């Protein structure tokens, strides 16, 4: 099946710094990618929908200036957590849509810890 | 708007017993329904999905789910639980197979020896 990768798999940073997370579709072109966040022992919450070549669509309550999303190519979307704070510590998961297969594939996730 | 309700945040079954995880959905359009499994500190793995073909959907690892429109349910079952089935299970709904997915709160499955 299709593969979606995320990099890094985990990251620890100091409060106030910015962190970039990459999401790549390895063997298909993804015009749409999604970013989810999962707090410990909770479900996944959709943060934003990322479309190649256009601005991301953010869910209600998600700060677009804090969570910058760029979908520069059909195989890469990035999520940048700007001026990270401890409350941003979470598990971030991306997914990519393969429209030809009408299926969404999930990445392995990135665990962010902000100290 | 679409939503998913998973009944029971924790379910415990004995090894070898029937597994039944309940999921009810709400959708204004014919839904796509999914069950995902998540092992500790790992990403999501798709168990099975319903796409309006057969109402009984067979997935990986011996799991299956039945779509019941009249009950707006999509319960997950497995005839005989194995210790390796202990994990978090998420029911999810989408308008299309490649569209954004709305997840339920999850059910932690515990397998008793």
Distance from CA of A58 to the nearest CA of B (A): 12
Question: CA B81, B83, B84: angle at the middle one, nearest 5?
Answer: 100
Using the Cβ of A9 and the Cβ atoms of chain B, whether some distance falls under 8 Å is answered with no
Cβ distance B104 to A43 less than 8 Å, yes or no, reads yes
- The tokens for A75 are 């195989």
Using the Cβ of A93 and the Cβ atoms of chain B, whether some distance falls under 8 Å is answered with yes
> Which chain A residues have a beta carbon less than 8 Å from that of B102?
46
> Which chain A residues have a beta carbon less than 8 Å from that of B90?
43-44
Confidence of residue A52 (pLDDT cuts 50, 70, 90): confident
Q: Is A38 exposed, middle or buried (0-12, 13-18, 19+ CB in 10 A)?
A: buried
Distance CA B59, CA A27 (A): 23
**Averaged over B44-49, what is the pLDDT?**
92
Nearest CB neighbour to A103, from listed B90, B98, B106:
B98
Distance CA A67, CA A19 (A): 10
Distances in Å between the Cα of B111 and the Cα atoms of A111, B8, B78, B81, B87 are 27, 15, 12, 7, 9
Cβ distance A93 to B43 less than 8 Å, yes or no, reads yes
Pick from A33-37, B20-24, B33-37, B50-54: least confident: B50-54
**Averaged over B75-94, what is the pLDDT?**
96
Q: What are phi and psi of B99, to 5 degrees?
A: -100, 175
- The tokens for A44 are 């996944």
- Please check whether residue A111 is in contact with residue A6, taking contact to mean a CB–CB distance below 8 angstroms: no
Cβ distance B100 to A46 less than 8 Å, yes or no, reads yes
pLDDT digits (tens, 9 = 90+) for A11-21: 999 999 999 99
pLDDT exceeding 70 applies to what percent of chain B?
A: 100
**Averaged over A28-54, what is the pLDDT?**
90
Question: CA A23, B91, A71: angle at the middle one, nearest 5?
Answer: 20
Confidence of residue A46 (pLDDT cuts 50, 70, 90): very high
Using the Cβ of A37 and the Cβ atoms of chain B, whether some distance falls under 8 Å is answered with no
| pLDDT computed for residue A1 by the predictor | 64
Most confident segment among A23-32, A52-61, B33-42, B56-65: B56-65
Nearest CB neighbour to B98, from listed A46, A104, A106:
A104
Cβ distance B43 to A106 less than 8 Å, yes or no, reads yes
pLDDT exceeding 90 applies to what percent of chain A?
A: 72
Confidence of residue B28 (pLDDT cuts 50, 70, 90): confident
DSSP 8-state code for residue B62: G
Cβ distance B43 to A46 less than 8 Å, yes or no, reads no
Cβ distance A95 to B94 less than 8 Å, yes or no, reads no
Q: Is the peptide bond before A8 cis (omega within 30 degrees of 0)?
A: yes
pLDDT digits (tens, 9 = 90+) for A53-104: 888 999 999 999 999 999 888 899 999 999 999 999 999 999 998 777 777 8
β-bridge mates for residue B23, sequence order = B6
What's the sign of the alpha-carbon dihedral B78, B85, B81, A42? Answer: negative
């Amino acid at each position: 099946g299709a593969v979606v990768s995320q990099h890094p798999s985990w990251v620890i940073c100091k409060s106030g710094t910015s962190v970039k997370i990459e999401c790549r579709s390895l063997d298909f072109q993804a015009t749409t990618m999604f970013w989810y966040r999962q707090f410990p022992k909770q479900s996944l919450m959709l943060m934003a929908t990322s479309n190649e070549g256009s601005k991301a669509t953010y869910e209600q309550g998600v700060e677009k200036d804090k969570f910058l999303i760029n979908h520069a190519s059909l195989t890469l979307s990035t999520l940048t957590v700007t001026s990270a704070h401890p409350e941003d510590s979470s598990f971030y998961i991306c997914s990519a849509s393969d429209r030809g297969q009408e299926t969404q594939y999930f990445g392995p996730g990135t665990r962010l810890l902000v100290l | 708007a679409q939503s998913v309700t998973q009944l029971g945040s924790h379910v415990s079954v004995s090894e070898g017993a029937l597994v039944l995880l309940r999921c009810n959905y709400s959708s204004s359009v014919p839904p796509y329904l999914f069950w995902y499994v998540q092992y500790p500190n790992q990403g999501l793995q798709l168990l099975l999905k319903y796409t309006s073909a057969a109402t009984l959907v067979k997935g990986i690892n011996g799991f299956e789910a039945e779509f019941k429109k009249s009950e707006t349910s999509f319960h997950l079952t497995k005839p005989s639980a194995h210790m390796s089935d202990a994990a978090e299970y998420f029911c999810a709904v989408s308008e299309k197979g490649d569209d954004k997915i709305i997840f339920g709160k999850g059910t932690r499955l515990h397998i008793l020896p």
